[in-house]
A and B are shown apart, each in its own frame.
Chain A
Amino acid sequence: MTELALKKNAPPASSYLLDFWRKLQKNRMGLVGLGMLLSITLAAVFAPVISPYEPSSTADVGAGDIYQPPSAEHLFGTDDAGTDIFTNFIYGSRVSLTVGFFAAFISIVVGGVLGIVAGFFGGRWENFIMRFTDIMLVIPDLPLIVVVVALTKPSLLNIIFVIGLLGWTTTARVVRSQTLAVKSRKFVLRARAIGAGRGHIIWRHVLPLVMPILVVQAVLVVSLAVLNESTLAFLGLSDPTTVSWGQMLNYAFGRGAMSTGAWWALVAPGFGIVWVVLGLTLLGQGLEQVLNPRLDTHHLMPGRPNVGKEAEVQSGATKPVLEVRNLSIDYVSQGKAPAHAIENVSFSLKEGELLGLVGESGCGKTTLMLGLLRLLPQAGQIVNGSVFFGGKNLTMLTEEEMNAVRWSGISIIFQGAMNALNPVRTVGDQIGEAIIKHMPGYPKEKIQGRITELLDLVGIAASHKDSFPHQYSGGMRQRAMIAMALACNPSVVVADEPTTALDVMVQAQILELLAELRRKLGLAVIFVTHDLGVVAEMCDRVLVMYGGVTAEYADVDTVYNDPRHPYTQELLKAFPDLTKPKKKLSSIPGYPPRLDALPPGCRFAPRCPAVFERCRTEQPAIHAIPGGAEHVASCHLVEGVK
């Protein structure tokens, strides 16, 4: 079964480099850049074939041939010596490319070796190399290059060496930090544990991961070298025996092209430089995008409009604080079928109730919570259902109306509070911000007192109010996050895995704190977690999710002692129970489904021990299970159970 899933889901096996090349082929920017470079390289190689004249040939040049405008005879016109600019332009590319590539080669080799040595061996070597690099980095390089070339002979070889030997500093830094990053990864430690020597580790593990960055860096260094060469030539420091673009500009600028209006003598060589550098820049950007694919989406992008505009009203005599009805959320991406991340989820939350939302990674629990507050990423879209809170359907509100509900009505505690708190603002300031936003009438002078009070509530001393998040320990940050969530007296608090990544004891402290606050303040809490034990300890009701759908929803005792959905049953068997230490744990074969490859029928069918034919084709509806409490499960097996 596993292999089957593998064959279907995984892309065909490919080599790492091939994969890279294939991605670059899809990157328009990179391809355009590559094309520009190839064209000019071809021109340089086949210069004698393409050019109509000999370079800088003054044979049969008469006085009348100086600064002739472009014509059929001289495509780009003639220069101050009456020679053909097109010919010089083609031959000039040879110098630019030669200097660019060879100088960059020197820089990359020197910088790469120094960077890897410093990063990998560390210690005294690293100290010496990096201090030296720092010093070289602040010394302005062009003036230094100018000075050295001016003092020596401006021959092609000298220029290559000077530009190359002074251009390695950024490469050394970039390579060093990448080497450090690679070195700290566990597979290097694993290679050491196998007994691999340093040479093997550098060659097999460090170099392959440094190489892509080195390639991007090389492209950048080539373009800098090309620019530096042309600048030198423009300043009059070029090999007089060969023609180059910078030199052409120097002659034209210094010998009357400006006053005679001979724009062609100025445009052509400059265009050549721009062509090469722009090509390199585009290629570099393209490579960068392939290496560090960024989604280019962020939290401030406008969300997608909610579909499913049924003007439903909340029914029932006792209205719960929060009621979610048939909520469905899709992830939409261009050129792909929408992924049904959440389908048809309903639950309600009574005043003071603690609802546990349990599921494995990728089951959609976080998406569901973000959907409630309409904080979905740009690709997320509510396609059906309603969220009733305070008599309003939140899916129908405008963004401004929603902003008024957020935090003052429903607040959220994110997992990993280090990233959820702004690192450059003090904790007290970030708590106060919510008060200022949602309680405009709150007396200014009392805000500081309120912040202290909130921090006290979660067990943080007032003296830490003006500290920054990084000065807190992990447990304290999570406490601060809780204090912040309580700032505007919300009626519902969503806690999204608030204790993941915390130590066992700190986790217990935070759970205790949440339980206590809930009692004290009468909060309704949705507790999102993957930990069945925590749910059993704390919650009143439990919603078990699998693959974006409700597996089972009931009160906590029913879920643990009379589970009906096979997933709930299996999950409980896989969870270690301290009271039965000798019991062998069972596991659920296979893996949770990926959102972009959901099985056609029941989403649990591929892993279900009780699977039968119907499960593979038909998605089960949510069935109520008779018996006092509200208990539902989405499984064909419970259909019609009396």
Chain B
Amino acid sequence: MNAEKILEVRGLKKYFEVGRPSLFSRKKESVHAVDDVDLTLRRSEVIALVGESGCGKSTLALLLMGLEDPTDGTILFENGDITHLNDSQRKPLRRKIQMVFQDPYESLNPTQTIEEIVTEPLKVHGLGDAADRAERVRKAMEDAGLKPAGVYLKRYPHELSGGQRQRVVIASALVLEPEVIVADEPVSMLDVSIRAEVINLLADLRVTRQIAVIFITHDLGSVGFFADRVAVMYLGRIVEIGTMLEVLEQPRHPYTKALLSVIPVPNPRLRHERIILQGETPNPINLPSGCRFHPRCPVAVEKCKVDDPALFDLSSSHRAACLLIK
């Protein structure tokens, strides 16, 4: 895919300071939530960002949205530096990058009607007159699968089902006609039979509206047909990135391999050996030396404890950070 770059991230870092200095300890510690991430998103591309809790994928989303301030690194949008903008500088940009959250119930204000929720972005940006707004709201809602829009306008979030609520969230993102949508676990709270609907909706939007999507999920199994590329994160870093087929069918990083192996296959005839990593993701305050993955890595060797691997080019699109790849 050689479409134009729309969003680019270089060496992005976000450290959170934890623990204030007290009478007894003065050491300041920091959580390395996002630690040196490079990523490029092209127009109407879908990148799936996969990882377990604490890998930094949600922090990365907040950084892209400008809702957290990065510690280091740059974020470029359509080749302009947007790393450190103040609120008023960022405002026009907000129309271009929108976010969809995990829990559709939590991300809707219970005291607002659906109409108020979907109109709010237009009001905040002072777009259009009343008639124009109503038309845009109707179009966004119908594009999000809430047809006909009129049925839903005067309702409150609690009167809708989980799937409908997530569509409202998507509609309120669409109403600003964004170019990028960052979707943070948009389906993990939904029932299996409804998940596909929302994923398919996002997949359609990239075709109908040329929207690029960053799809954040913990479930490598669900990114399937919908993602162009997949990036796997572990402890604040991208450890493997490639096209969907490269990552899912020829994973090279031991972590990706393990993640893939534990995804249950819905067919009892295909029961397989699983690589189960022991222990839990270490605390991102005290990072392991060398390769961050080595304490849990089933194939780690001595040098993994010392050397921190960089991403290694496996093909023009496929890269993985492991010392054992040669």
Contacts and interface: CB of A to CB of B under 8 A. Distances in A.
Instruction: Please tell me whether chains A and B touch each other in their complex, using a CB distance cut-off of 8 A.
Output: yes
A196 interface: yes
B269 A503 contact: no
Contact of B155 (A10, A209, A579, A583): A10
Contacts of A475: 280
B195 A574 contact: yes
B267 interface: yes
A509 B265 contact: no
Nearest to A361: B191
Given A189-B67, A195-B91, A360-B193, A16 B156 contact: yes
B28 to A, nearest CB: 17
A441 interface: no
Contacts of A140: none
- Quick one: which of B102, B163, B191, B244 has the most chain A CB within 10 A? B191
Contacts of A347: none
B119 to A, nearest CB: 11
Nearest to A19: B156
B176 A194 contact: yes
A536 B87 contact: no
B191 A578 contact: no
Contacts of B154: 13
A503 B280 contact: yes
Interface stretch (B37-45, B217-225, B313-321): B217-225
A536 B266 contact: yes
A582 B280 contact: no
The range of chain A's interface size is: 35 or more
Interface in A201-233: 204-205, 208-209
A609 to B, nearest CB: 12
Closest 5 CB pairs of A and B: A533-B264, A195-B94, A587-B196, A585-B196, A508-B262
Interface string B164-181: 100001001000100000
B190 to A, nearest CB: 9
B268 A536 contact: yes
A570 interface: yes
B200 interface: yes
A41 B196 CA distance: 59
A298 interface: no
Interface string B254-286: 000011101111111111001011101100000
Given A187-B106, A360-B192, A503 B53 contact: yes
B270 A3 contact: no
Contacts of B281: 503, 505
A571 B192 contact: yes
A120 B252 CA distance: 46
A147 interface: no
Given A186-B106, A190-B101, A196-B124, A16 B192 contact: no
B272 to A, nearest CB: 9
Interface stretch (A168-176, A418-426, A555-563): A555-563
Nearest to B124: A196
Nearest to B90: A195
Nearest to A208: B111
A14 B192 CA distance: 31
B193 A208 contact: no
Contacts of A505: 52, 258-259, 262, 276-277, 280-281
A186 B268 contact: no
5 contacts: A192-B67, A193-B67, A194-B124, A209-B110, A585-B224
Interface in A460-510: 473, 475, 503-509
Given A10-B155, A574-B196, A585 B225 contact: yes
Given A187-B108, A532-B266, A585 B221 contact: no
A205 B111 CA distance: 8
Contacts of B111: 16, 208-209
A13 B111 CA distance: 12
A586 interface: yes
B109 interface: yes
B159 interface: yes
Interface string B140-166: 000000001001101110011111100
Given A189-B107, A195-B95, A504-B262, 10 more contacts: A3-B148, A194-B172, A195-B94, A195-B125, A196-B120, A509-B278, A581-B245, A582-B245, A585-B225, A591-B194
Contacts of B269: 557, 560-561
Contacts of A190: 99, 101, 107, 169, 172
B120 A581 contact: no
Contacts of A11: 159
Interface in B83-104: 87, 90-91, 94-95, 98-99, 101-103
A575 B192 contact: yes
B309 interface: no
Contact of B200 (A194, A361, A534, A584): A584
Interface string A83-103: 000000000000000000000
A124 interface: no
B311 interface: no
B151 A6 contact: yes
Nearest to B198: A587
A525 to B, nearest CB: 16
Interface in A539-564: 556-557, 560-561
B238 to A, nearest CB: 17
B249 A581 contact: yes
Interface in A512-554: 512, 530-534, 536-537
B109 A592 contact: no
Nearest to A542: B268
A575 B98 CA distance: 28
Contact of A531 (B67, B151, B264): B264
Nearest to B92: A195
A143 B281 CA distance: 55
A178 to B, nearest CB: 13
Interface string B277-311: 11011000000000000000000000000000000
Nearest to B120: A194
Interface string B222-263: 101100000000000000000011001100000000111011
Contacts of A532: 192, 264, 266
Nearest to B270: A579
A473 B280 contact: yes
Nearest to A513: B276
A117 interface: no
Given A361-B191, A579-B270, A534 B159 contact: no
B199 interface: yes
Contacts of A189: 67, 99, 101, 107
A575 B280 CA distance: 27
B193 to A, nearest CB: 4
Nearest to A184: B106
A364 to B, nearest CB: 14
Given A193-B98, A505-B262, A512-B274, A10 B107 contact: no
- Quick one: which of B103, B120, B160 has the most chain A CB within 10 A? B120
A570 B87 CA distance: 47
A565 to B, nearest CB: 13
